[in-house]
Amino acid sequence: MSKAGGCRGCGCRVPQRASWSLVAATAALCLVLATSVCTAGAAPMSREEKQKLGNQVLEMFDHAYGNYMEHAYPADELMPLTCRGRVRGQEPSRGDVDDALGKFSLTLIDSLDTLVVLNKTKEFEDAVRKVLRDVNLDNDVVVSVFETNIRVLGGLLGGHSLAIMLKEKGEHMQWYNDELLHMAKQLGYKLLPAFNTTSGLPYPRINLKFGIRKPEARTGTETDTCTACAGTLILEFAALSRFTGATIFEEYARKALDFLWEKRQRSSNLVGVTINIHTGDWVRKDSGVGAGIDSYYEYLLKAYVLLGDDSFLERFNTHYDAIMRYISQPPLLLDVHIHKPMLNARTWMDALLAFFPGLQVLKGDIRPAIETHEMLYQVIKKHNFLPEAFTTDFRVHWAQHPLRPEFAESTYFLYKATGDPYYLEVGKTLIENLNKYARVPCGFAAMKDVRTGSHEDRMDSFFLAEMFKYLYLLFADKEDIIFDIEDYIFTTEAHLLPLWLSTTNRSISKKNTTSEYTELDDSNFDWTCPNTQILFPNDPLYAQSIREPLKNVVDKSCPRGIIRVEESFRSGAKPPLRARDFMATNPEHLEILKKMGVSLIHLKDGRVQLVQHAIQAASSIDAEDGLRFMQEMIELSSQQQKEQQLPPRAVQIISHPFFGRVVLTAGPAQFGLDLSKHKETRGFVASSKPYNGCSELTNPEAVMGKIALIQRGQCMFAEKARNIQNAGAIGGIVIDDNEGSSSDTAPLFQMAGDGKDTDDIKIPMLFLFSKEGSIILDAIREHEQVEVLLSDKARDRAAILKGKMIPSYIINSNPEMENEDQPSSENDSQNQSAEQMLSLSQTVDLADKESPEHPADSHSEASPSDSEEAAGFAPSEQISGSTENHETTSLDGECTDLDNQVQEQSETEEDSSPNVSWGTKAQPIDSILADWNEDIEAFEMMEKDEL
């Protein structure tokens, strides 16, 4: 959409102040045209199969929603492993995650409009009555303003929108008299005190009963908020104003958006992740499209769609141009620094960016949407789910997956835009994986670790609000939905707001006169409404042709490196120098370093530093190669120096009624049978007597041939193992005696030996925290005979339950689990260390293999006078190079398979004198030491806040 309001792609003109109904009709036409011309690329899916998959989604929703209502309501969320409700204050705190819980039956409110989309109108009517009867919005509890807005306020408004639609149809909700809207208005007024700041940015948290800054409120002292937290209010607040006529809500949300826009980094047009709500200073200056920023961009574009205000579109297009210029590196989307956008801020991506292809579809930029979506899908095919974070070479960075719906959202929008049945197959895979790996008797459980298949006792409300809505719509035909979905826009929580709000109670000024939009390049505003003749130029295989080059991107581990090497060979040039190949005594290598702006500095104490001055590189490409080389040096070192930690193990309950659907994260032992080398141990469980297992068992007949349960405490783990082994047990599970402990909140426990030779222990031993252990103990009390599987990762249900009569939904149509390689043990630890990111002017020393490693990210700002990148080397000593006041620079280009690099290195140098020779062909660089304690602290602070 140009600034004059022309919808270029569709060949029509929309008056600048026209109602959005005309604009919406135009956009709908674009989608119809796009769908009609791109129907190939995969085998068409029959109407019958689509209906079957749609019905399967309905059954899955019933399973999740029914168990919530039976076992959890009126609690906020269901705990699917323990079959009870999660009540704030009654369960161990999960930190910021619990800020979404306000004792207001969150899951029920979040699911209201999903019930209508799934054509469950009777259940919807019952649910609305329960909300009006039971929900209390005046609880003395501190909640997240952001989460409460998108889930509760959005849920009430979405429910109201569809309630009045049903009432108008005359079949249902005839008794309804805007009661949900009255509740939404009450909640809106409760959130307004959060905006009492000089900037207009809201406080991140508020007490529902006492508001802000009162002694009893326990909030109001915060100084920072995330960009998405402050910038994801306009849809719900504007809708509330348009529905009620109370303009104050829209005014406050607009003021917050205006402030964020004014605080953008003017040279890059990017915004940071975290901002000070009082001063407007950027606290975290990295920028991306994932966690902390994601829905800010989404709401700018959707605010234009819902409200018809050109200024929102102009802002979005300005940001989008910057995103595609700096952040988008197809198929990757990598965070950068807002002041130095050519430098990447990290070498990993978080799962929340999976929404972005769907937003690009709404923007009309289909090609990059297809590319990024395909990359994400391949990560899912490798790990069954999208890890919470993964590296640029597609390894797991954070292994959790809380059943996030963003990828399903993008899949739905891509199917709507292209009509390619390939995306129906993608949706089918999502359904199969949810049933196969996440379904448990009481609902669906979040994945604790996608590598092992272990579960968390968690089923977030957004799973019902979004996942089932998008999956059902993906397979539904128009006649399957009782209303026209094109008349509504989805909020970030997938709540439905009617487009007719654009013409209702429009008392807000459309233009922000403080911004000079006339200076913006008009070319930024192309492609808002896609020209299907250009997007799909007489080629029904358009989407497939874009996906095809990316089909092996994850398996090949590093597409960008491969592409770069191929381009180099085609041009006749040599590929960039790799850190693993570098020889300090090779003149040719030193010449390459010089070309990349990297030089060697010999220090008085015998250390040798590599220092990069990007401005001294022969070209910008050489400077980028130099940055990659420095990064590879650190990554190569970290791979060599990581301690050999045993990965987490899995305890899978396979007897009735669990059938392998409950998987518990277990800590390994440093003795006994290694489950990574032996497939598994299977057996029924029995409690040992004495329960602590510290003496000869008095009930050997009970544990003979079974897996013994033992309580932690009073003696060494190895002693317990010997006692149950002597009694004939085939394995042991030690359960923590610290009541309430959980793998959700505590680091994974690894059982050590007793200092003696433990070769006599032949059985596997695993450790469960109290919460996970109680799940097994409760199962014994209820079902007596409980069979479990001890393994390195969860096993395929089709294999472990072969020949048993079980419900068909437990085993999907693909009987064999993928036999894919898991990440190496270096990457398998629960608390995976941060990727290595090199700061400007920081120093790294080369040290021997035994030196400890402390990698970290640094997130402080670079000194304006300092523009060097340095890595230092020493034969046997380390330094504690301070990284204060330096901005990190991470690399996004060539990647290496570091698992194999350790074996390629020669033995550690023996000569530690200042005149050491450390770069011969027979003896290349052994290791690099990065011991930055201050960086570790910075990364840990970031890790707490980020996702």
CA distance 406 to 660: 27
Write a three-state SS string for 361-404: HHHCCHHHHHHHHHHHHHHHHHHCCCCCEEECCCCEEECCECCC
CA distance 874 to 89: 52
- Residue 173 has φ and ψ, to the nearest 5°, of 60, 30
Q: What is the largest CA-CA distance in the chain?
A: 90
CA distance 775 to 766: 15
Q: Is the dihedral of CA 490, 496, 500, 501 positive or negative?
A: negative
Which helix (H) or strand (E) segment holds residue 817: the answer is none
Cis geometry, peptide bond prior to residue 657 (ω within 30 degrees of 0) = yes
CA distance 533 to 38: 11
Quote helix, strand, coil % in the chain, to nearest 5.
Answer: 40, 15, 45
Q: Output the DSSP codes for 298-321.
A: HHHHHHHHHH--HHHHHHHHHHHH
CA distance 331 to 566: 17
CA distance 213 to 686: 54
Q: Which two tokens stand for residue 436?
A: 């196969």
Contact 929, 845 (CB under 8 A): yes
Q: Does 492 belong to an annotated binding site? A: yes
Contact 454, 794 (CB under 8 A): yes
Contact 908, 848 (CB under 8 A): yes
**Nearest residue to 397 via CA among 943, 785, 945:** 943
Contact 727, 700 (CB under 8 A): yes
Pairing of strands 707-711, 731-735: parallel
Contact 856, 908 (CB under 8 A): no
Cis geometry, peptide bond prior to residue 587 (ω within 30 degrees of 0) = no
**Nearest residue to 103 via CA among 123, 84, 89:** 89
Residue of 123, 371, 374, 406 marked catalytic? 406
Q: Is the dihedral of CA 50, 52, 57, 61 positive or negative?
A: positive
Contact 41, 66 (CB under 8 A): no
Q: Is the dihedral of CA 278, 280, 282, 287 positive or negative?
A: positive
Q: Which two tokens stand for residue 296?
A: 């800010």
| 153 DSSP 8-state letter | I
Contact 685, 705 (CB under 8 A): no
**Nearest residue to 132 via CA among 88, 85, 186:** 186
Residue of 77, 147, 286, 857 marked catalytic? 147
Residue of 294, 314, 526, 848 marked catalytic? 294
| 405 DSSP 8-state letter | -
- Residue 46 has φ and ψ, to the nearest 5°, of -70, 155
- Residue 686 has φ and ψ, to the nearest 5°, of -150, 140
Is 147 among the catalytic positions? yes
Kindly tell me the burial class for residue 289, based on how many C-beta atoms sit within 10 Å of its own C-beta (0-12, 13-18, 19 or more).
buried
**Nearest residue to 490 via CA among 472, 508, 465:** 465
CA atoms within 13 A on the CB side of 104: 30
Residue type, 330: P
Is 940 among the catalytic positions? no
Is 294 among the catalytic positions? yes
Binding residues for Ca(2+): 492
Binding residues: 492
Give the active site residues.
147, 294, 388, 406
